[in-house]
Each structure stands twice: as structure tokens, then as C-alpha cells.
Amino acid sequence: MSASTVAVIGGGVVGGGWVARLSLNGHAVRVHDPDPQAERKIGEICALARRAYAKLTLAPQPEPGAITFHPSIGAAVRGADWIVEAVPERLDLKRMVYASIEIENQGGIIASTTSGFRPSDLQDGLQNPERLIVAHPFVPVYLVPLVEVVAGEKTDPAAVETAKRFLSGLGMYPLHVKKEIDAFIADRFLEAVWREALWLIRDGYATTEEVDEAIRMGFGLRWAQMGLFEGYRIAGGEAGMRHFIAQFGPALQWPWTRLTDVPELDETLIELIAGQSDAQSGHLGIRELEAKRDDNLVAILQALKVNDWGAGRVLAAHEKRLFDLGAKPPPDDISQPVETLRLRVPPDWTDYNNHMNEARYLQAFADATDALMRLIGCDADYIAAGGSYFTVETHIRHLDEARAGEEIHATTQVLEGAGKKMRLFHRLWRGADLLATGEHMLIHVSLKTRAASAPGALVAEKLAEIAALHAGLPVPDGAGRAVGMGR
């Protein structure tokens, strides 16, 4: 299932999030939702997702799959390889949906988003129960990597493996819950905390805001990267996990752990919570809160990626796949300036005015230089073997401004390429508008001695070939120029 046809039944917060993740990963999505507002709501979720993905990664993304809306379940699931069931948590309703699916579709995997029902219970009464699994995602579905995958008694093990591959291909982290249990793993923790929070608020020990601060200023920062046990392993100090349990285990017997029965969620408590939540977050609309949440998720995922850790590793693997899929062959025609960079300006490359920061121009040129180096064979393997080019001199002219989200690209002309020297002239473009030029002198160095050295024969040969072809091109406007020299 690379780019396949998928169906989503139910387009609420979870179903709509699935639509966004599926479509933006290149799958055609067929949607059924009786809500007349569904198309608008899903459109808004997709807009949020596109916004987030533009910030999340520079990797080339597939052409989004078409999203179509269908008047019935049967029409929506026709020809679908993957069918998301994302209707409300009522067993009778879900079973009715499955019955409708089975009339029109016998082969696609049915992936229920249920957060509580066991797949074996969902399979009851299906003609082809072997294709039903639970794939339980977390809001916002288009950004959070976790998806719990649970098989029922009648699920075909091959369907589980197919599902895990498919979900990984969407940039997700499928956690295979190996033994059926109500509410699986993550929601049991959410429920435990929710229960405790209800007590604290009902009895006036904390407000919703204080609960949130207690989490996000504290252990939430740890949990985003390590979860529970790995963090505790450290908190145990040099003696590790056994020591931690010995030290904190007894707390389980303390009186305050007895508060384990279920608080009654009556109108008074609901009003108390909703009122406090309004006071805490009501100054921001839901769309603003969603955008803030997404910006933070993006930033945390990117931060973890830099550190090669946790959810950041999932992002890195997904990006690698996207880069591989989107990789272009080297240009056939190297007689003209070569395209060495193409990207959308990421929001964090811009200042408060939304204009690309000064230093990011040099970053773009440095990336273009790297691409030219790869083209002449000075790639990761060559560098690992001890040779590289170092920039010794740079001249940048800023001619126009670029804004977040704009697509920019660079072309590179080789001005000199002989001996240890390589002189490049980059032009940075937005479409046909020239934004900046960069002239760079690089010297080939030995990474062992950090001193100038001759490049390898193959690199020298390829560079000389391009330099000879480019020697016939006009000298670029601005090349060989000092600051303030004018044209």
C-alpha cells in the first residue's frame, strides 16, 4: 500500500485528523460523515495540518491525495484498502457501521479508532472479522506519532503487520499492544490522571490551571522524552530502578493513595471544571489554541530530532523516507547554473516581521554549496574519508525580502574550480525574482591536518568539467565585488 485509496467514516476531531494525515501523505481519502458541517470542519483540520507540516519538515512531501465526500458509508468505502472507523464510542453504532462496510467492501483493513472497546468485541458478527484491528491515535492525529495497534481474537496476524507498515509509512509510531485490554495502555493512564484531577478540583485543592501548570512545568517535560520508567530509573540515582522502587514504593501504602474510587461527575462538577477552563484558556479561541499546540508539538518534535531521541527519531525516519522518495537524479545539463536548493521558508527562519533572517541567507547558500559538493562527488563518504571544502570567504548581496512559507530555490554557477580552490556564485530566487546572491571561495582541506590539500582525482575532474562548461557563461552581476563598491 504505497499511495492507496482509503476511507474514513466519521469526520470529527479524530476522524478529521486521520483525513489530514492520510491525505497529506499522498493517499486519496473518501469520507462519509452525516454532519452537514463535516466538510468545513475537516477542511479546517487539514489547513492546520498543512500549516504544521510546512513548519515540521523540509523534506519533500508527496502531492496530497484528493479528499472526496460521499453520501453513504457504502459509497465511501468502495475500493478502499484501508478503512478508518471513527464514529462515537457506542458498540451498537460501530457494529452497524461495520455491517454497512461489509456490503460494499470485503478486502480492506478496517481500523477502528476506538479508545476503549476490545477488538474481539468489535469483531462479533462480522463476516470477515480477520481484517479488523484497532488503530487508536491521539489528537492531533496528524502530528502525534503514537497509534496503538491491537488485534482481536479473529484478526489475521498478516493484517497486523500490514497495518504497522502502513502506519509507519504515515510517519506514525505503531505500538503493538500484544494482549487485549479495555482502553489499551495510554488511555488507562489518562483516565487515572483524569480521575485524580476531578477529585482535586471537586474538593478545591487545585483549579484546572493549577493542574495544568503542575504537569507542564514539571513531569510533563520529562514525559515528552522518556515516559515514566526511564525517568524514574534516573531519579533512583546511581542505584537505579531497584533503589527507586525501594524508596518510593512504600508510598503506595500511604493514606492518600486510597482515594481511588470514582468521583461523581455531576452538573456541579462539570460547571466548576468548564468555568475554570474558560477562565484559564477562554481568551484564546479553539483554532488559536490548536495552532499554539501544533507549533509547540512541531518545536518539541524538531528538538527531539536534533537529539536523536524518542518521537524525534520517528520524525527523522519519516523524513529520510520522504527525502528518498523525493530525491531527484543529478541534472543532465550541467552547462547552465545548477539548481542546488529548493524549499519553503520555515517560520523559524524569520523575524518578528515574518521576513527571512539575515543569517538564514547564508544557511541557504551553505546548503546550496553542500549540494554542489555532492554533485562533484564530495559527499558524506568522501568527507568521512578525510577530505572536504571549507569556506574561507563570502560576499552576499541582499536584493529582496523572503517571507515564511514562500518557495525559494538556489542556482549555482562555478566561477573557479582548479587546484585547491573552488569559487561559487549562488543566486537565491523566489520564482523569477532574485532575492540575494552569494559568492563563496572554498579551499579543499584535509580534515586530519585541517590544512589546505589537493582534492581527490574524481572530485577534481568533475569540478573541472563543470567549471569549463560554466566558463562560457557571462560573469554574474555582483561577482568579484567588494562591499560598497556599487555595480
Q: Which stretch binds a second copy (CB under 8 A): 102-110, 126-134, 242-250, 455-463?
A: 242-250
Tell me the H-state helices in 308-450.
310-326, 358-375, 380-384
449 near a second copy (CB under 8 A): no
Closer CB to a second copy, 223 or 323, in the complex = 223
Report the 10 Å Cβ neighbour count for 309. Answer: 13
| 133 touches 110 (CB < 8 A) | yes
Selected binder of a second copy within 2, 36, 254, 457 (CB under 8 A): 254
Q: Which of 181, 186, 178, 184 is nearest to 138 (CA)?
A: 186
User: Shortest distance, CB of residue 157 to a second copy, whole angstroms?
Assistant: 18
Closer CB to a second copy, 258 or 328, in the complex = 258
Q: Which residues are CB-neighbours of 182 under 8 A, at least 6 positions away?
A: 116, 117, 118
Closer CB to a second copy, 133 or 211, in the complex = 211
User: Shortest distance, CB of residue 177 to a second copy, whole angstroms?
Assistant: 7
Rounded CA-CA distance 384/378 in Å is 10
By rule CB under 8 A, what count of residues binds a second copy?
Answer: 148
Sign of CA dihedral 29, 30, 32, 36: positive
Closer CB to a second copy, 17 or 65, in the complex = 17
**Interaction pattern, residues 24-63, with a second copy; x per rule: CB under 8 A:** -----------------x----------------------
Rounded CA-CA distance 46/50 in Å is 6
Rounded CA-CA distance 217/51 in Å is 27
What residues numbered 372-401 form the site for a second copy, per CB under 8 A? 390-398, 401
User: Shortest distance, CB of residue 290 to a second copy, whole angstroms?
Assistant: 6
What residues numbered 323-382 form the site for a second copy, per CB under 8 A? 348, 353, 357-363, 366
Q: Which stretch binds a second copy (CB under 8 A): 68-76, 177-185, 329-337, 426-434?
A: 177-185
H helices, E strands: number in the chain? 17, 13
Q: Are strands 109-112 and 132-137 parallel, antiparallel or unpaired?
A: parallel
Closer CB to a second copy, 162 or 357, in the complex = 357
| 392 touches 441 (CB < 8 A) | yes
| Lookup: cell for 210 | 493549577
User: Shortest distance, CB of residue 454 to a second copy, whole angstroms?
Assistant: 19
User: Shortest distance, CB of residue 106 to a second copy, whole angstroms?
Assistant: 32
What residues numbered 405-434 form the site for a second copy, per CB under 8 A? 416, 423
| 86 touches 14 (CB < 8 A) | yes
210 near a second copy (CB under 8 A): yes
208 near a second copy (CB under 8 A): yes
User: Shortest distance, CB of residue 386 to a second copy, whole angstroms?
Assistant: 12
Rounded CA-CA distance 21/50 in Å is 9
User: Shortest distance, CB of residue 40 to a second copy, whole angstroms?
Assistant: 10
What residues numbered 132-161 form the site for a second copy, per CB under 8 A? 138-139, 144-146, 148
Sign of CA dihedral 97, 102, 105, 109: positive
Closer CB to a second copy, 321 or 403, in the complex = 403
Query: Could you check whether the bond before residue 88 is cis, i.e. omega within 30 degrees of 0?
Result: no
| Partners of 417 in beta bridges | 422
Q: Which stretch binds a second copy (CB under 8 A): 21-29, 279-287, 325-333, 468-476?
A: 279-287
| Lookup: cell for 337 | 547554473
| 433 touches 401 (CB < 8 A) | no
**Interaction pattern, residues 281-300, with a second copy; x per rule: CB under 8 A:** x----x--xx-xx-xxx-xx
261 near a second copy (CB under 8 A): yes
Rounded to an integer, what is the distance from CA 190 to the centroid of its chain?
A: 23
Rounded CA-CA distance 419/4 in Å is 51
102 near a second copy (CB under 8 A): no
Selected binder of a second copy within 190, 325, 471, 475 (CB under 8 A): 190
User: Shortest distance, CB of residue 102 to a second copy, whole angstroms?
Assistant: 27
257 near a second copy (CB under 8 A): yes
Q: Which stretch binds a second copy (CB under 8 A): 74-82, 100-108, 200-208, 452-460?
A: 200-208
472 near a second copy (CB under 8 A): no
Name the strand (E) or helix (H) holding 69: strand 67-69
Q: Which of 466, 441, 437 is nearest to 377 (CA)?
A: 466
314 near a second copy (CB under 8 A): yes
Rounded CA-CA distance 351/303 in Å is 19
| 470 touches 414 (CB < 8 A) | yes
Closer CB to a second copy, 78 or 195, in the complex = 195
**Interaction pattern, residues 66-95, with a second copy; x per rule: CB under 8 A:** ----------------------xx------
Closer CB to a second copy, 23 or 388, in the complex = 388
